[in-house]
Structure 1
């Protein structure tokens, strides 16, 4: 199956998840306002943040697919990161509203229609189970795995709303609703924190989480004819597109044409680094240079 077919398949899966999740989040908003349940509204907020993540991710993926230009030599791959940053800010705003409203309601819990919360929370649980099942059966790209993680959080949120509805329906304390909504806001906070950590890593040009820089350097140094690898930098262009730049010390400069494809194949196949810039250097010259501290610091050509 080609890369286009893979992206097309995962795109259809994500589109299904987006439509289904957004549709039911709107149902929960209406149900939460009607029943007076903050647990339903907070679960709706959680589902809407996930829908927004899917939507922004899909739009950013479309932008990232655009070719490089004179103004953007790497293309628009970082659009995905900016989209994720927008999602994080939106998530924190939702958390702040839920926490504020929950604390206010704890002091004076309003009446909640337990039966309505029970019904909509139960339907939400079925929706999330369906979406999770579709995502697990779909093409397992990074975007799909991320969406699945969000849906699992939604599923727990639906369980919280269902629990609140059950407690109130059976005559339990009304404070259960704002307490369980705080639990859902904690789920959103965990997701937002994880996403912010990833965004910060990319923006700070950090080494991707699933790449070990020492392992990469060691693998390159094992190639025949390579003496050492130094001045190596690894960073993320987007969540699934990595880049590397490094200097490579060679026994024989004349064999660089044969060595370069082998190094690039290791980076691509073992570490998923498709964009690499490798600069060859003569190991003998470098050793001689290392033996003289002033080597390279004074470029004046002194002749008698």
Structure 2
């Protein structure tokens, strides 16, 4: 009977790669620092937003009101980020075997969706004002926009100090960055209104902001959607990875290969590996684990390693049908190597 060996390698235990070398204490300190930076940015934005709403109404500027509405989503995105960070820090238990790490991805999706929905509303209002532009108080609009630029530069700097490899934090950062661009556009529009009296510049600036919001919102929905749909990390080709694994010494077949992300920056992999009869399953598992950790940064791996039966070796050939597969219904492509390559 063929020897069978199943093993698990986790970054927290192995200490390899970008995720395995950090202890729990340093991660906790980093998370606390992230929360402090986010809270500081939230205080700045919420204070200025309240003032901007009042000034936007007095100046009759849609661009200012759109900036204020955008700042409201900024504040909401930071609140979501803070809540998600708290949830993600909870340990895995009960039915949630990964914990609540994907709360951060839910937050990123909410951020992307609010950007898109707000963009649709602002686009409608901007077009309406292009057709029938109201009178705009350019001087008040310009002064407020300039202060808004300063506030958003400081807020963006605060969030940039947090861990932006988290899609959750990146979502909040994109909100702030888009708001900064929006204020720059509003300031330019206000200057045009002051110098030329061209009131439609206010609506045009709003449409530029909308384009930026749609771009950022789509990017967040796309990236968070990939994680929810268990897609491989961006830039990693599972087929190429499978070919790399099966080319290693003693390995004759790799199937049921899955690569996904638990949350942003935390990739995981599982695979069923067949080795030559008489080969050392333990040594193969260790070698593959090191390869995945060192070359791909994947430290959370589950490798089931079995000895291949002789018929598998006889039938295995490039492009062959799955009639020689170890499993009746392999999930995904089956990667095989010819026997004489080993």
TM-score normalised per structure 1: 0.84
Could you tell me which residue of structure 2 aligns to residue 280 of structure 1?
305
> May I ask how many residue pairs the two structures share in their alignment?
298
Classify 1:150/1:89 alpha carbon distance in 2 versus 1 (closer, same or farther; 3 Å): closer
Give distance in 1, aligned partners of 2:304 and 2:326.
Answer: 17
Matches within 5 A, 1:26-175: 26-137=50-161, 141-143=165-167, 144-175=169-200
Q: Match of 1:70, SS?
A: coil
How far is 1:188 from its partner? 0.7
> How far does the alpha carbon of each residue in 1:66-114 deviate from its partner, in whole angstroms, 9 at most, with x for none?
2223322222222223223323332232112211211222222112211
Q: Match of 1:170, SS?
A: helix
> How far does the alpha carbon of each residue in 1:44-79 deviate from its partner, in whole angstroms, 9 at most, with x for none?
223332332222122122212222233222222222
Could you tell me which residue of structure 1 aligns to residue 259 of structure 2?
234
Could you tell me which residue of structure 2 aligns to residue 200 of structure 1?
225
Classify 1:136/1:59 alpha carbon distance in 2 versus 1 (closer, same or farther; 3 Å): closer
Q: Match of 1:230, SS?
A: strand
Classify 1:289/1:282 alpha carbon distance in 2 versus 1 (closer, same or farther; 3 Å): farther
Classify 1:211/1:30 alpha carbon distance in 2 versus 1 (closer, same or farther; 3 Å): farther
Classify 1:5/1:20 alpha carbon distance in 2 versus 1 (closer, same or farther; 3 Å): same
Question: Retained in 2: the 8 A contact 1:226–1:249?
Answer: yes
Give distance in 1, aligned partners of 2:323 and 2:287.
Answer: 33
Gaps of 5+ in 2: 1-21, 329-342
How far is 1:194 from its partner? 0.7
Mean CA deviation greater in 192-201 or 147-156: 147-156
Give distance in 1, aligned partners of 2:163 and 2:44.
Answer: 18
- By relative contact order (CA 8 Å, sep 6+), the higher-ranking structure is 2
Classify 1:251/1:17 alpha carbon distance in 2 versus 1 (closer, same or farther; 3 Å): farther
Question: Retained in 2: the 8 A contact 1:42–1:185?
Answer: no
Could you tell me which residue of structure 2 aligns to residue 184 of structure 1?
209
Gaps of 5+ in 1: 299-304
TM-score normalised per structure 2: 0.76
Could you tell me which residue of structure 1 aligns to residue 7 of structure 2?
none
Give distance in 1, aligned partners of 2:143 and 2:43.
Answer: 21
- 1:260 corresponds to which of 285, 288, 305: 285
Q: Match of 2:232, SS?
A: coil
Question: Retained in 1: the 8 A contact 2:165–2:264?
Answer: no
Give distance in 2, aligned partners of 1:295 and 1:24.
Answer: 64
Q: Match of 2:133, SS?
A: coil
Question: Retained in 2: the 8 A contact 1:46–1:188?
Answer: no
